[in-house]
């Protein structure tokens, strides 16, 4: 018998999540029975949105990478690394369902399996920009939350495809990283001046593709600059996530009529057939340094609630992770 700490939702927040909405709770974990494995989580992915179906008293869920510490299941050996959705807990028992074995390339750090090579970051960016937005070489591309996990990858894929790429982000430090490390043509801090005006200055040839992670003023500003037959791939609307009901207000939607702009929301289900192609392309781009990645890592389960809250405040450059063990 051992003890595991986990992060529980104590009450559903009305608006922004606060520290008192979450608690660290200890739970006893038994030895695995026949057919089961005991997993110790190493790295937790911190997502920007809470599952809307989650109710008070439940353990937070999220992507994670763990190591099999004890196995009584023939499909898993002790020491195997697995990715799964049982994050925000130190140790747990599984019957093997929902576990995917990962065989990390020795030259890539484990964290990329929760970021550039993960379904909820790298693959969303890849499928969203290439399949949903149907990106063409040389187009004018705008990506919001470009300093974050999904945005930083989407923006760099557009650069690889020979596009002119502008990113928005929430700090001057992230603007610098986007221009000097990630190689974007331009980046701006959306907190310094209205989005619409900054887009007008930095994208004088208009926008062919907008990869939207934010909604609200970003979507409005982009709609004002969209070119004829432009495409808006709607990945998320984070500006509304802390609003009760998750609303986002858009005023310039009518611009889509005469400019014949397509707006399309998406999930990985729309391009799951591209998974193998994605893994092969992304591994190559990571290896040859064409995709740069950065992680912001908090240490220990006690820091997980802060990581969730700080992510919404923009404390992360690249992917926000919590490290529980090496």
Per CB under 6 A, residues contacting ligand NAP are: 47-49, 120-121, 124, 145, 147-151, 169-171, 174, 213-214, 235-236, 238-239, 266-267, 311-312, 314, 316, 320
Shortest spacing between CB 255 and ligand NAP, in angstroms: 20
Residue 6 and residue 276: Cα distance in Å, rounded?
33
Name which of 183 and 314 has its Cβ closer to ligand NAP: 314
Shortest spacing between CB 42 and ligand NAP, in angstroms: 19
Shortest spacing between CB 236 and ligand NAP, in angstroms: 2
Name which of 230 and 236 has its Cβ closer to ligand NAP: 236
Name which of 40 and 174 has its Cβ closer to ligand NAP: 174
Question: Considering only CA atoms, which of 211, 246, 323 is closest in space to residue 50?
Answer: 246
Q: In what order do the strands lie in the sheet with 207-212?
A: 186-189, 164-169, 140-143, 207-212, 226-234, 262-265
State phi, psi for 184 to the nearest 5 degrees. -70, 155
Name which of 71 and 239 has its Cβ closer to ligand NAP: 239
Residue 163 and residue 203: Cα distance in Å, rounded?
12
Shortest spacing between CB 133 and ligand NAP, in angstroms: 13
Name which of 80 and 217 has its Cβ closer to ligand NAP: 217
Question: Considering only CA atoms, which of 157, 101, 120 is closest in space to residue 281?
Answer: 157
The length of the chain in residues reads 326
Shortest spacing between CB 320 and ligand NAP, in angstroms: 6
Question: Considering only CA atoms, which of 156, 101, 145 is closest in space to residue 282?
Answer: 156
Cα separations in angstroms, 3 against 92, 99, 294, 315: 10, 22, 32, 31
């Amino acid at each position: 018998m051992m003890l595991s700490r986990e992060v529980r939702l104590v009450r559903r927040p009305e608006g922004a999540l606060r520290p008192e909405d979450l608690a660290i709770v200890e739970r006893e974990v038994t030895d695995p029975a026949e057919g089961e494995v005991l997993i110790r989580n190493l790295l937790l992915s911190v997502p920007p949105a809470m599952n809307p179906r989650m109710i008070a008293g439940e353990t937070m869920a999220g992507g994670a990478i763990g190591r099999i510490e004890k196995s009584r299941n023939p499909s898993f050996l002790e020491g195997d690394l697995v990715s799964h959705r049982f994050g925000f807990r130190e140790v747990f028992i599984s019957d093997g369902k929902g576990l995917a074995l990962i065989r990390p390339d020795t030259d890539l750090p484990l964290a990329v399996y929760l970021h550039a090579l993960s379904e909820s970051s790298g693959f969303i960016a890849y499928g969203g920009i290439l399949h949903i937005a149907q990106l063409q070489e040389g187009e004018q591309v705008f990506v919001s939350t470009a300093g974050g996990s999904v945005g930083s990858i989407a923006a760099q894929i557009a650069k690889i495809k020979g596009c002119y790429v502008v990113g928005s982000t929430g700090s001057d430090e992230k603007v610098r990283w986007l221009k000097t490390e990630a190689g974007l043509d331009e980046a701006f801090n959306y907190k310094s001046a209205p989005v619409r005006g900054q887009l007008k200055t930095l994208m004088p040839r208009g926008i062919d593709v907008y990869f939207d992670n934010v909604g609200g003023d970003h979507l409005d500003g982009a709609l004002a600059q969209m070119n004829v037959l432009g495409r808006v791939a709607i990945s998320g609307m984070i500006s509304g996530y802390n609003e009760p009901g998750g609303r986002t207000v858009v005023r310039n939607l009518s611009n889509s009529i005469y400019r014949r702009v397509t707006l399309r929301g998406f999930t990985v289900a729309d391009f799951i057939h591209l998974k193998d192609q994605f893994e092969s392309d992304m591994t190559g781009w990571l290896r040859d340094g064409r995709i740069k990645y950065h992680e912001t890592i908090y240490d220990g389960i006690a820091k997980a609630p802060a990581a969730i809250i700080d992510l919404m405040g923009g404390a992360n450059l690249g992917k926000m992770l919590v490290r529980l063990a090496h």
